[in-house]
């Protein structure tokens, strides 16, 4: 019988692809997103293709919003069996302009130019909240449905930058490191009540969040985009579909003795020292 799977950030590029793949396995999918229109659009596509999905507005940073979403999910599909914590992302206010601090940077008064010393605590907090609190709160709400039942699990979305931080994005790297760490903590904490907890660590996927960082308007690669491809042994960006196999495995019975792992899906990026 199909399970009830709640996915946050499900209106986005990566999680909508994961949602469609899980729906094809016969599960009922609750697509949660701050952007209700985006979630509903994905749900309509799933339903048109013979699946079963609803789009629900939810803010992963507000408990009341999540409780309201849970009521909608429970009345449509019953108890939640699987939670995918997909909402996350970076913010320009938590990002430095240059990868390395140079002496001349301190005299750079260009508008928008940011050294480490200019980073805005509010920007840093936004990124930590979205990625870490935005994983913790939905887990507090939806894992209550899972305690002590069979076949329940949680899938978090970490990132490549959790293993080794990427230049320029200290907040996002730190926040995703917290997500990986929390995945292990929660796997241990929930081990006696039958809830497995794992995470994906996607490498570089060309999405709306990073398109202008990685590609120019003519589609060619920016210097940072080039650097990433050179550091990726498989020599390409990931496609959202590359996440499907690991998602189905970690949400399915084939991984029933697997908990507390963070799986890199990165074309070898994290295995490569560059030499």
Give the CB-nearest residue to ligand NAD. Answer: 12
Residue 35 within binding range of ligand NAD, rule CB under 6 A: yes
Task: Return the number of other C-beta atoms located less than 10 Å from residue 109's C-beta.
Answer: 5
Longest dimension (CA), the chain: 64
The one among 208, 217, 219, 275 contacting ligand NAD by CB under 6 A: 208
Distance in angstroms (rounded) separating the CA atoms of residues 62 and 134:
9
Q: Is 194 helix (H, G, I), strand (E, B) or coil?
A: coil
Residue 87 within binding range of ligand NAD, rule CB under 6 A: yes
Query: CA geometry: angle at 14 spanning 176 and 267, to 5°?
Result: 70
Residue 267 within binding range of ligand NAD, rule CB under 6 A: no
**Secondary structure (DSSP) of 154-169:** EEEE--GGGTSPPTT-
Q: How far is the CB of 113 from ligand NAD (least distance, A)?
A: 25
Residue 157 within binding range of ligand NAD, rule CB under 6 A: yes
Distance in angstroms (rounded) separating the CA atoms of residues 133 and 54:
24
Residue 60 within binding range of ligand NAD, rule CB under 6 A: yes
- Stretch of residues binding ligand NAD (CB under 6 A), selected from 19-27, 83-91, 139-147, 225-233: 83-91
Residue 250 within binding range of ligand NAD, rule CB under 6 A: no
Question: What letter would DSSP give residue 133?
Answer: I
Catalytic position from the list 77, 132, 172, 204: 172
Place of tokens 């996607």: 202
Q: How far is the CB of 234 from ligand NAD (least distance, A)?
A: 15
Residues that bind ligand NAD (CB under 6 A): 8-9, 11-15, 33-35, 38, 58-61, 86-89, 130, 134, 157, 159, 202, 204-205, 207-210
């Amino acid at each position: 019988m199909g399970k009830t799977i709640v996915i946050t950030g499900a209106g986005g590029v990566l999680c909508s692809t994961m949602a469609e793949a899980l729906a094809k396995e016969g599960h009922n999918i609750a697509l949660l997103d701050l952007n209700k229109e985006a979630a509903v659009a994905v749900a309509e596509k799933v339903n048109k293709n013979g699946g079963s999905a609803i789009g629900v507005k939810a803010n992963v940073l507000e408990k009341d919003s999540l409780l309201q979403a849970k009521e909608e999910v429970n009345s449509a599909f019953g108890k939640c069996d699987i939670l995918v914590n997909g909402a996350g992302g970076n913010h320009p206010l938590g990002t430095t302009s240059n990868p390395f601090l140079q002496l001349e940077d301190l005299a750079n008064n260009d508008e928008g130019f940011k050294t480490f010393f200019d980073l805005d605590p509010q920007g840093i907090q936004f990124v930590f909240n979205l990625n870490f609190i935005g994983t913790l709160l939905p887990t507090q709400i939806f894992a209550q449905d899972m305690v002590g039942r069979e076949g329940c699990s949680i899938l978090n979305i970490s990132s490549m930058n959790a293993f080794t931080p990427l230049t320029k994005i200290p907040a996002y790297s730190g926040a995703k490191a917290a997500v990986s760490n929390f995945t292990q903590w929660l796997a241990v904490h929930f081990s006696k009540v039958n809830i497995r907890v794992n995470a994906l660590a996607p490498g570089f996927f060309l999405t709306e969040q990073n398109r202008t960082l990685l590609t120019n308007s003519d589609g060619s690669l920016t210097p940072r985009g080039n650097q990433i491809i050179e550091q990726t042994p498989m020599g390409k960006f990931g496609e959202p579909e590359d996440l499907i196999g690991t998602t189905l495995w970690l949400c399915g019975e084939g991984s029933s003795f697997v908990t507390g792992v963070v799986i890199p899906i990165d074309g070898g990026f994290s295995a490569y020292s560059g030499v």
